[in-house]
Amino acid sequence: MSVIKQAAVAGCIVLLAGCAGKSQEEIQAERYHLEQDSHLQDIDVATIPDAIPRAPEGRVKHDPYTLNGVRYTPLKSATGYTSKGTASWYGKKFHGYQTANGEIYDMYAMTAAHKTLPLPSYARVTNLENGQSVVVRVNDRGPFHGDRVIDLSWAAAKKLGYQDKGVAKVHIEGIDTSPAGLQAFHQQGQKKPSHQGTDADGLLYLQVAALSNRDSANNLQKKLLSLLEQPVVVVPADDASLFRVRVGPLASDQQLAAVQKSLESNQLGRGQRVFD
């Protein structure tokens, strides 16, 4: 029997023996009080594919629940949901235990916990600090810790590049799993950014500034992240003499124009379009 399966069996036994009478949300919340989380072993997450959105085959869980005096009313659909906030990750101390919808948590799968998205559902999560994006299956409740808006599996966090840092500012977008929504999702995944420029094979960015001081670049990045919904990255020159602050990658010229309008309204200039 594999290590993961052994852990899953052990977790189920513990749950059956000691958690009778408690909701799965309560059980999950209790595990947040355990010591600092970790992962079992390091792996190459490039070999782990993103979750593939599909229509739910069974019951979708969106029942209201109360935890620590807070009443949560989950959404009936992830369609149209967007949010920006702090993401964390959860790993070993939950690995092999039941999730809030009865599945077994696997820290090496592309999954997530959310307080109010329906279970199961799917979401695209983008790290606003580096532009990396993943698609995850939401099959658990949480995070019940501080102001965090979503808990990703360790593998998903590593793909987004914040597994060592522990948290990251992210943008969350619910995925429509209706037939039309799934068709649009898969068609969008096959499209290239609809921009025109001198390097049509490159990704489109809006460069806001090129600064000689890294701290100044980081401060500008934080300010832009507070104003915009798009990723903002700091790109150092090869000799570290300049630090370029860029918004993107952007999907279209129309999106670039919208960002420029936001910059102008905040007295930050118009920026310069670049391809990378």
Q: pLDDT grade, residue 106 (50/70/90)?
A: very high
φ, ψ of residue 27 to 5 degrees: the values are: -65, -45
Instruction: Based on the fold, state whether residues 172 and 221 are members of the same structural domain.
Output: no
Q: 257 lies in a domain?
A: yes
Residue 29 is predicted with a pLDDT of: 57
* Residue length of the chain: 276
Give the domain range for residue 253: 204-275
CB atoms within 10 A of CB 116: 17
| Dihedral of alpha carbons 147, 151, 155, 156, sign | negative
Q: 269 lies in a domain?
A: yes
* Token pair recorded at residue 116: 């109010």
Q: Does residue 238 or residue 154 have the better pLDDT? A: 154
* Token pair recorded at residue 77: 């659909």
Q: pLDDT grade, residue 3 (50/70/90)?
A: very low
Residue 8 is predicted with a pLDDT of: 43
Helix (H, G, I), strand (E, B) or coil at 194: strand
- CATH code, domain carrying 211: 3.30.70.1070
CA 16 to mean position of chain CA atoms: 31
- CATH code, domain carrying 54: 2.40.40.10
Task: Please enumerate in sequence order all residues whose Cβ is within 8 A of that of 142, keeping only pairs 6 or more positions apart, or say none.
Answer: 28, 29, 32, 90, 100, 113, 114, 115, 151
Instruction: Based on the fold, state whether residues 63 and 138 are members of the same structural domain.
Output: yes
Q: Which H or E run includes 119?
A: none
Q: Do residues 241 and 214 touch, judged by C-beta distance below 8 A?
A: no
- Taking only the tens place, the pLDDT of each residue in 172-183 is 999 999 999 998
* Token pair recorded at residue 149: 């808006």
d(C-alpha 144, C-alpha 200), whole Å:
44
Residue 200 is predicted with a pLDDT of: 46
Instruction: Based on the fold, state whether residues 146 and 70 are members of the same structural domain.
Output: yes
Degrees to nearest 5, angle at CA 118 with 172 and 9? 105
Instruction: Based on the fold, state whether residues 14 and 120 are members of the same structural domain.
Output: yes
Q: 199 lies in a domain?
A: no
Buried b (16+ CB within 10 A) or exposed e, 165-178: eeebbbbbbbbbbe
| Structural domain count of the chain | 2
Residue 252 is predicted with a pLDDT of: 86
Instruction: Based on the fold, state whether residues 224 and 145 are members of the same structural domain.
Output: no
Q: Does residue 17 or residue 274 have the better pLDDT? A: 274
Global pTM value: 0.68
CB atoms within 10 A of CB 30: 12
Instruction: Based on the fold, state whether residues 163 and 211 are members of the same structural domain.
Output: no
- Taking only the tens place, the pLDDT of each residue in 195-248 is 554 444 578 899 999 999 999 999 999 999 999 988 999 988 888 788 999 998
Helix (H, G, I), strand (E, B) or coil at 262: helix
Q: pLDDT grade, residue 21 (50/70/90)?
A: low
Q: Which of 147, 163, 190 is the last residue of a domain?
A: 190
Q: 196 lies in a domain?
A: no
Tell me the HSE value of 114 on the side-chain side, using a 13 A CA sphere.
30
Mean pLDDT of the chain: 83
Helix (H, G, I), strand (E, B) or coil at 196: coil
Q: Do residues 253 and 259 touch, judged by C-beta distance below 8 A?
A: no
Q: pLDDT grade, residue 5 (50/70/90)?
A: very low
- Taking only the tens place, the pLDDT of each residue in 245-262 is 999 888 888 889 999 999
Residue 38 is predicted with a pLDDT of: 47
Q: Do residues 91 and 154 touch, judged by C-beta distance below 8 A?
A: yes
Instruction: Based on the fold, state whether residues 72 and 31 are members of the same structural domain.
Output: yes
Rounded mean pLDDT, 100-128: 95
Rounded mean pLDDT, 28-50: 65
Instruction: Based on the fold, state whether residues 144 and 216 are members of the same structural domain.
Output: no
Instruction: Based on the fold, state whether residues 50 and 185 are members of the same structural domain.
Output: yes
Q: Do residues 101 and 140 touch, judged by C-beta distance below 8 A?
A: yes
Name the H helices within the chain: 3-18, 24-31, 154-160, 179-190, 214-227, 253-265
Which residue has tokens 């990255």?
233
Instruction: Based on the fold, state whether residues 208 and 169 are members of the same structural domain.
Output: no
Instruction: Based on the fold, state whether residues 247 and 270 are members of the same structural domain.
Output: yes
Instruction: Based on the fold, state whether residues 70 and 178 are members of the same structural domain.
Output: yes
